[in-house]
Amino acid sequence: MTNLSLFGHELVVDNFAGGGGASEGIEQALGRPVDLAINHDATAIAVHTANHPGAEHSVADVWDIDPEQAVHGMPVGLAWFSPDCRHHSKAKGGRPVSKSVRGLAWVAARWAAKVKPRVIALENVEEFLDWGPLIKGADGKARPDPARKGETFRGFVRALRRHGYEVDWRILRACDYGAPTIRQRLILGARRDGLPLHWPAPTHGDPASLAVRRGKLLPWESAASCIDWSIPCPSIFDRARPLADATLRRIARGVMRFVVEAEDPFIAPITQAARPAGAHLVAAFLAKHYTGVIGADLRQPLPTITATDHNALVAVSLVNLKGSDRGGRDPRQPMPTVCAGDTHVGAVAAFLVKYYGRGIGQPCSDPLHTTPTRDRFGLVTVTLSGEQYAIVDIGMRMLQPHELSAGQGFPDGYQFAEAGGRAVPKYQQVRLIGNSVCPPLARAYVEANFTHERRFMPAPAGRAVA
């Protein structure tokens, strides 16, 4: 194990290392690589190795690792744990859960007992606080016992305290520490060196807050900062495989909320190549293809990224209804000349919203859909800066892995697409990103607790450790 003999220092161990989100944040905070990264998933370890070649890697179940053998008798300064959160998360709903998956966090107590890391950090969903025994339902399947909510969590904390640890926890949001996502996670900290646990102060905040306006905090990073605007958004109207009705209804509601009815729609910097002919200032928002969720303004941080991602970009193409200048225009250029009268309005291809049945709308170029006995059609237009626009197209595409990676807070150049000389399938990239720790969150916690002992080392090639 090269690192264990190269640096004569306390070790840093990343259990459940995944694609390397926690390791990246730790490395940025300490200015040095983690020493040992453990994960049972060979693809995850391959990605971790590609980005953190200075670490020793172990493809193994965390329960198959003997902590004493793994560290070769050397002291451990920090042990980070991010056990599988799926069977604690509210996203699981009322579905059955696995006792073994929910119990993965006990591996932290095992490390505490065997090698006594000076500092332990455990990251999970906030529902981890409710960790308790399971009870079998009428269907014979196990689900959390509501009468014993939090019982196992309290036992876990007592176990750490018996091993001499001071234990505390906080729920932190990644956007408060520079990541462009609202992802919220529980961080449990434990240390046994007599020093107090420290919690990082937020560095970013709501742009409308007094702290940001007075310059005490930086504004949250926006979802828009993660979007690759050079990628076209295919029209939702002429797809070879039509979108599901539920998806179309969600898009329609988002268009109404974030474009038509919005006082100040977000105008995207769409390149001319990605814009439909005749469209000007593309208005965009983020659709969340998840039950009951419509979407988000792109000026806000990205919604939580999941292992099976639901985030999609919706781009609403607009055309000016006034004047003769209706050709394509870069949205960064001035608005078209405002004239007193309407000209050529009939030539504008808007679309109609259909307020009945399961329909969403239709292009004006198509024959009018069946007309019911009551008014159920509406021409959708948008007013921006006093000028009226018509919607000529709506595009939608899922976010790509490199956009999700940026949204999670990974630095430019972090590699998910290729590992070990092989391409990583898109679904695996999304899974690794969705399951990862937001690096800025890990960095903030480690800096708060290790600032006084930071060791500066050269950054890995291609990435700066600041």
User: If you search the block for the tokens 């293809």, which residue do you land on?
Assistant: 289
- Residue 235 carries which DSSP code? B
Beta strands, E only, 380-446: 381-384, 387-398, 418-419, 422-423
Top pLDDT among 334 and 250 is at: 250
- Calpha distance 323→170 (Å, rounded): 57
Q: Which residues pair with 36 in a beta bridge?
A: 13, 56
- pTM for the whole thing? 0.81
User: If you search the block for the tokens 């970009």, which residue do you land on?
Assistant: 313
For residue 77, what are the CA distances in angstroms to 119, 434, 439? 6, 28, 19
pLDDT-derived band of residue 93, with 50, 70 and 90 as boundaries? low
Sign of the dihedral defined by the CA atoms of residues 49, 128, 188, 207, in that order:
positive
Residue 370 has pLDDT above 60, yes or no: no
Average pLDDT, the chain: 78
What average pLDDT does this structure show over 92-113? 78
The string of pLDDT tens digits covering residues 296-337 is 888 888 888 887 777 888 888 776 665 434 333 333 333 333
What average pLDDT does this structure show over 356-379? 43
- Residue 73 carries which DSSP code? T
Structure tokens at 131: 């960790």
Give the pLDDT score at 327.
37
Of all helices (H) and strands (E), which one includes residue 427?
helix 426-434
* Residue intervals in the chain for CATH 3.40.50.150: 2-220+419-453
Top pLDDT among 210 and 370 is at: 210
Bridge-based pairing of strands 36-39 and 56-59 is: parallel
Share of the chain above pLDDT 70, in %: 73
- Residue 92 carries which DSSP code? G
Give the pLDDT score at 453.
58
Give the pLDDT score at 287.
77
Which of the residues are catalytic? 85
Most confident range, picked from 103-107, 346-350, 413-417: 413-417
Top pLDDT among 168 and 286 is at: 168
Sign of the dihedral defined by the CA atoms of residues 7, 9, 15, 19, in that order:
negative
The string of pLDDT tens digits covering residues 190-222 is 999 999 999 999 999 999 999 999 999 999 999
Nearest-5° angle of CA 17, CA 38, CA 175? 10
Structure tokens at 232: 């076209």
Residue 362 has pLDDT above 60, yes or no: no
Say if residues 247 and 405 touch (Cβ distance below 8 Å): no
- Calpha distance 461→466 (Å, rounded): 14
| Of 435, 432, 400, the residue nearest 42 (C-alpha) | 432
CATH 3.40.50.150 for domain 2-220+419-453, yes or no, is yes
- Calpha distance 38→59 (Å, rounded): 6
